[in-house]
């Protein structure tokens, strides 16, 4: 059997088989999703977001502020057994279609089977933003031009996606002190980012996809690498896609057709992971084994934070985020010609 699997991984059938497997698992996993409340149908040409969430009350008020300011009017959320008030908060949001799934998170390929399967079940066709509660999409000019303007420009340019780099944001002091109130902007609580030190890696993976783009570096690599191994996390993600029945998320960061993960313009995802609850979430992930490879990434977080609870990510190479121009000036995303 292992010889057969190895042969398949090296064959031209590898990618089509993987895509077919993802679609099959998505169609099976969606049966675990129950509708809690669904509002009006998605309008023609309307942009919708889809998210899987669990215990995200620290981030939710500003998540909705950010995306509503960009003109988003329809949010599809799958709640995975929240116990911190997330579900109740979501029920109070009139623009949220709320679903529930209590199946184990790893069984969903970390949420992707659920979101992909639900989009297909709902018959969504059009622009979809697939983001987590700790991710804020930004792009050149997002302070004055909303998502409708962006997708219009992409369509006029023959583009069907906006690839991004995830940019970890962090506070000036200890990570554990980053505790936003409901009226706070997360970017004011965690205004710093690493302006350089990133590496672009493009390589083939016989089994996953013909070509993958990875960005390495950033504060998590700085803080959580040790003498035995360099910490690596996926920093490339394609969150905004023109969705149709042929589209499939391969995992949380890459989408099929594979060419959607490349091209310009690009944006950034401000990633608000390094906050007050970071240590507790690492402990929870390790105890529940609900992330990749037995939560190996979270074991590294927990080991360092157990030793240094007051850990700070700020250093001499930190830069303060002012607006989208900050990332263009740092070379972390491309400018957009809006003419």
CB 179 within 8 A of CB 250: no
Give per-residue pLDDT as tens, 155-208.
Answer: 999 999 999 999 999 999 999 999 999 999 999 999 999 999 998 776 555 444
Q: What's the confidence (pLDDT) of residue 6?
A: 46
Quote the distance between the C-alpha of residue 105 and its chain's center.
Answer: 15
Run of H or E including 238: strand 236-243
pTM of the model: 0.92
Whole-angstrom distance, CA of residue 160 vs CA of residue 147: 13
Parts of the chain with a pLDDT under 70:
1-14, 202-213, 288-295
- Tell me whether strands 255-256 and 248-249 are parallel, antiparallel or unpaired: antiparallel
DSSP 168-212: E-B-SSBGGG----TT--HHHHS-EEE-S--EEEEEEETTTEEEE
């Amino acid at each position: 059997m292992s010889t057969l699997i190895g042969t398949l991984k090296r064959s031209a059938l590898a990618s089509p088989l993987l895509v077919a497997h993802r679609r099959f698992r998505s169609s099976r996993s969606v049966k675990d999703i129950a509708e809690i409340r669904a509002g009006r149908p998605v309008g023609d040409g309307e942009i919708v977001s889809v998210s899987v969430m669990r215990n995200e009350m620290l981030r939710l008020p500003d998540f909705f502020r950010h995306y509503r300011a960009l003109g988003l009017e329809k949010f599809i959320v799958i709640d995975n057994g929240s116990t911190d008030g997330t579900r109740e908060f979501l029920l109070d949001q009139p623009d949220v279609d709320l679903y529930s799934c209590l199946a184990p998170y790893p069984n969903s390929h970390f949420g992707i089977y659920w979101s992909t399967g639900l989009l297909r079940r709902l018959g969504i066709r059009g622009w979809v933003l697939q983001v987590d509660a700790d991710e804020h999409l930004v792009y050149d000019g997002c302070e004055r031009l909303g998502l409708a303007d962006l997708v219009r420009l992409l369509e006029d340019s023959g583009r069907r996606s906006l690839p991004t780099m995830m940019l970890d944001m962090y506070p000036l002091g200890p990570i554990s002190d980053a505790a936003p109130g409901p009226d706070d902007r997360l970017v004011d609580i965690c205004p710093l980012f690493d302006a350089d030190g990133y590496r672009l890696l493009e390589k083939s993976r016989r089994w996953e996809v013909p070509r993958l783009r990875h960005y390495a570096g950033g504060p998590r690599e700085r803080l959580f690498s040790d003498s035995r191994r360099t910490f690596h996390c996926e920093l490339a993600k394609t969150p905004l896609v023109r969705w149709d029945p042929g589209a499939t998320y391969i995992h949380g960061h890459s989408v099929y057709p594979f060419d959607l993960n490349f091209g310009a313009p690009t944006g950034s995802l401000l990633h608000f992971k390094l906050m007050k609850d970071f240590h507790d979430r690492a402990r929870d992930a390790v105890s529940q084994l609900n992330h990749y490879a037995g939560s190996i990434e979270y074991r590294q977080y927990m080991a360092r934070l157990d030793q240094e609870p007051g850990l700070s990510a700020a250093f001499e190479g930190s830069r303060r985020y002012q607006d989208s121009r900050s990332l263009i000036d740092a070379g972390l995303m491309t400018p957009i010609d809006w003419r």
